[in-house]
Amino acid sequence: AQSVTQLDSQVPVFEEAPVELRCNYSSSVSVYLFWYVQYPNQGLQLLLKYLSGSTLVKGINGFEAEFNKSQTSFHLRKPSVHISDTAEYFCAVNPLQGGSEKLVFGKGTKLTVNP
Amino acid sequence: DTGVSQDPRHKITKRGQNVTFRCDPISEHNRLYWYRQTLGQGPEFLTYFQNEAQLEKSRLLSDRFSAERPKGSFSTLEIQRTEQGDSAMYLCASSVGRGAGNTIYFGEGSWLTVV
């Protein structure tokens, strides 16, 4: 079975500051990794995903994430945030094998960007 | 490409009543998923279809829940004899092809409040 831990439930930052949202996962098999964003009263939108290759993945809206296999982490970063980045961010995993395509999500991190 | 569409967006029902949610996936997406999200939690997998075949069901999906995708296009999720614990957002998602690395596109969700 897989599990995802998002270490911070809430992260407040000031506009134009850098931010890192932390994600650790546990799995007995190799997994694909995803970050989704959810704006208030909306569904989830994919920010980026790691399948293979370079461990640094770039996504939409200036976000990037780095896969660290030894630390089983997939932290999300942005060098300078905007007010519009205020949202909830979810880390998710999906095992490579086993025939299942269900995402396992963390509990989310609420990012609040203040002026 | 109009995205994943869900209806109704909001539903308030009395305990014991039946409710049905509809999901229209992105055109030509052969895989369709249902997730449930409660306040303060990440989405949890309920079930998924490949075309009209229901391939996996979570243990969260009790006997009161049933999902169908009769012609491999839209899907319905019915909850019978609703309970207050069923209050949540029900998210539908779709993807094309096979493989755990495929991008899964989410709809905006259907909020259910059981009073």
The model's pLDDT over A66-91, given as tens digits with 9 standing for 90+, comes to 999 999 999 999 999 999 999 999 99
Structure confidence at residue A41 (pLDDT): 80
State whether A100 and B109 contact (CB < 8 Å): no
From the list B31, B40, B105, the residue facing A107 with the nearest CB is B40
Buried b / exposed e across B41-76, counting CB within 10 Å, b at 16+?
Answer: ebbbbbbbbbeeebebebeebeeebbbebeeeebbe
Structure confidence at residue A64 (pLDDT): 97
pLDDT tens sequence for chain B (115 residues): 579 999 999 999 999 999 999 999 999 899 999 999 998 899 999 999 999 999 989 988 889 999 999 988 999 999 999 999 999 999 999 998 777 778 899 999 999 999 9
State whether B91 and A46 contact (CB < 8 Å): no
Structure confidence at residue A80 (pLDDT): 97
The nearest CA of chain A is from the CA of B101 a distance in Å of: 6
Structure confidence at residue B28 (pLDDT): 87
pLDDT under 50: residue ranges of chain A: none
CB atoms within 10 A of CB B33: 27
From the list A36, A42, A103, the residue facing B45 with the nearest CB is A103
Structure confidence at residue A36 (pLDDT): 97
Structure confidence at residue B114 (pLDDT): 97
Cα-trace Rg, chain A = 14
State whether A32 and B105 contact (CB < 8 Å): no
Residue of B nearest to A39 (CA): B108
State whether A43 and B109 contact (CB < 8 Å): yes
CB atoms within 10 A of CB A34: 29
